[in-house]
Amino acid sequence: MKVTTIGAGYVGLTTSCVLADHGHKVICLDVDQVKISKLERGEVPFFEPGLQELLDRVLKKGTLTFTDDRKTAYYHGEIIIIAVGTPPQIDGSPDLRFLKTALTDISEHLSSHKTIVTKSTVPPGTNKWIESELAQKADRKLFDVVSNPEFLKEGTALEDTLNPDRMVAGGNSAEAVARVKELFSFVSAPWFTTSLTGAEMIKYASNVFLAAKISFINEIAAICDAYHVNVEDVARGIGADPRIGPAFLRPGLGYGGSCLPKDLSALIYAAKSKGINPKLLPAAGEVNDSVTKSYVQRLELLLGTLRQKRIAVWGLSFKPDTDDTRYSPALTFIRKIQEKGAEVLAHDPVVKETSEGIISQPDPYSVLTDADALVLATEWSVFKQADWGRVSRMMKGKIVLDCRNVLNTGEVAAAGLDYHAIGRYQRE
Ligand code: NAD
């Protein structure tokens, strides 16, 4: 099929590459010319495991091209996939500016029939609104709208696109939904078909549930900590119940990234705009905010004060295997300890510099000289395999605060370091 993808971000580029690899003729449009220039040179503009190799392959096949020229892009696709960002605004609602621009562009190029597929995460009612907006500007027979929310995770975006747990399609036209299923016919996952708004709600409810699950285990971890109970034993014990399940029960610095925080705020906003006052959803966000504070307090307690203390921080991205630092808990933690007077030296395996101006030092050990404490903020596997003897010899202090509950406590202690975490106690 002839496909146009709008947006060459984590979702748009991954989707474009996978579709092109399965024989579809794809043009990927982005308004960011720097991004497009890089892609035209064959360079993936962000870190996503396996994506560079796939891009190399599809560029050789000639099934994927990039452009910043709207006319070329919109003329090409019989399927138009919207994958632009929907970032949060101060009031919690997502900023639909990019989506609205894309929509105007689509309406101006509806010379032949197009199936508009919305992958961007948008509030309940948005796809219905897209349908009515387009109907005002163009012949109704020239388009269909399908809400096809994306569930990929950064770090495993390719694998998630090739082997998703499920596919969701919402729409008013059975033919259009069938076309989208055909587009992704290489996927063996079950399809859930519903209304346009139903599909939007599945996406939000899914992310909000995950956020709540993380906040739940973080709250349990704080109670476990007070009772000197190992929260991992508790997570395993409750996770064995199939009604609960073991995934997403790892306590730590909380969730971040470009999806969970924004989708939680967006659903709260959407609920309130219909006169519903949600209780559980805001609580999940409040717990998440309080988690960073708990780790800052723990470090302050361990060091007496953070003023003029030198803190080495491992990890800047919001989770391992991505360079995405949007709403990264690691950055929130760093900002909070800097406000309390700490000097921070950080290292991340792929992030070079954050928008806040934090520069990643060249290697994990280079941040340790004269450090009063080491904080593990993002659980990259390279940190789990650290040479703890070397760490111990380089640091001034002995404190290691594991904000992700992933380090081997025995190895850290054997190197003469003082291991600390929240809710991670040895059995009595
Ligand atoms: P991103 O910020 O990485 O990429 C969005 C891209 O769209 C940018 O490159 C931007 O320049 C481009 N863009 C903006 N306006 C445009 C326009 N009018 N025409 C062409 N290009 C335009 O975003 P992302 O992380 O890929 O997320 C995209 C959407 O998918 C969001 O709604 C997000 O919530 C959702 N989503 C993201 C993930 C994820 O893990 N990143 C997972 C599932 C769903």
pLDDT at 374: 98
Indicate which residue's Cα is closest to atom 28 of ligand 1.
Answer: 85
In a domain? residue 372? yes
User: Binding site for substrate: residue ranges?
Assistant: 151-154, 203, 248-252, 256, 319
Instruction: Give the CATH number, domain containing residue 322.
Output: 3.40.50.720
Same-domain pairing of 303 and 174? no
Pairing between β-strand 2-6 and β-strand 79-82 as defined by DSSP bridges: parallel
Per-residue pLDDT of the chain (428 residues; tens, 9 = 90+): 999 999 999 999 999 999 999 999 999 999 999 999 999 999 999 999 999 999 999 999 999 999 999 999 999 999 999 999 999 999 999 999 999 999 999 999 998 999 999 999 999 999 999 999 999 999 999 999 999 999 999 999 999 999 999 999 999 999 999 999 999 999 999 999 999 999 999 999 999 999 999 999 999 999 999 999 999 999 999 999 999 999 999 999 999 999 999 999 999 999 999 999 999 999 999 999 999 999 999 999 999 999 999 999 999 999 999 999 999 999 999 999 999 999 999 999 999 999 989 999 999 999 999 999 999 999 999 999 999 999 999 999 999 999 999 999 999 999 999 999 999 987 65
In a domain? residue 392? yes
User: Binding site: residue ranges?
Assistant: 30, 35, 86, 121, 151-154, 203, 248-252, 256, 262, 319, 326
Domain count, the chain: 2
List of residues 6+ apart from 252 with CB closer than 8 A: 218, 291, 379, 403, 404, 405
Give the domain-ending residue among 193, 212, 244.
193
Ligand 1 centre to CA of 185 (Å) is: 23
In a domain? residue 315? yes
Give me the domain span that covers residue 399: 289-420
Indicate which residue's Cα is closest to atom 11 of ligand 1.
Answer: 32
Instruction: Looking at the CA of residue 86, tell me the nearest atom of ligand 1.
Output: 32
- What does the pLDDT look like over 123-140, one tens digit per residue? 999 999 999 999 999 999
Cβ-in-10-Å burial (0-12, 13-18, 19+) of 12 comes to buried
Alpha-carbon gap, residue 341 to 344, rounded angstroms: 9
By most ligand atoms within 8 Å of CB, the mutation choice from 15, 30, 151, 260 for ligand 1 is 30
Give the domain-ending residue among 193, 226, 249.
193
By most ligand atoms within 8 Å of CB, the mutation choice from 82, 258, 326, 327 for ligand 1 is 258
ipTM over 0.95: yes
pLDDT at 425: 81
The two structure tokens encoding residue 11: 């979702």
In a domain? residue 369? yes
Same-domain pairing of 59 and 184? yes
pLDDT at 428: 55
Give the domain-ending residue among 165, 193, 221.
193
pLDDT at 288: 98
In a domain? residue 142? yes
Closest by CA to 12, choosing from 72, 81, 66, is 81
Instruction: Looking at the CA of residue 101, tell me the nearest atom of ligand 1.
Output: 18
Ligand 1 centre to CA of 171 (Å) is: 21
Same-domain pairing of 167 and 312? no
Q: Where in the sequence numbering do the catalytic residues fall?
A: 259
* SS3 sequence of the chain: CEEEEECCCHHHHHHHHHHHHCCCEEEEECCCHHHHHHHHCCCCCCCCCCHHHHHHHHHHHCCEEEECCHHHHHHHCCEEEECCCCCECCCCCECCHHHHHHHHHHHHCCCCCEEEEECCCCCCCHHHHHHHHHHHHCCHHHEEEEECCCCCCCCCHHHHHHCCCCEEEEECCHHHHHHHHHHCCCCCCCEEEECHHHHHHHHHHHHHHHHHHHHHHHHHHHHHHHCCCCHHHHHHHHHCCCCCCCCCCCCCCCCCCCCHHHHHHHHHHHHHCCCCCCCHHHHHHHHHHHHHHHHHHHHHHHHCCCCCCEEEEECCCCCCCCCCCCCCHHHHHHHHHHHCCCEEEEECCCCCECCCCCEECCCHHHHCCCCCEEEECCCCHHHHCCCHHHHHHHCCCCEEEECCCCCCHHHHHHCCCEEECCCCCCCC
pLDDT at 427: 61
Alpha-carbon gap, residue 324 to 304, rounded angstroms: 33
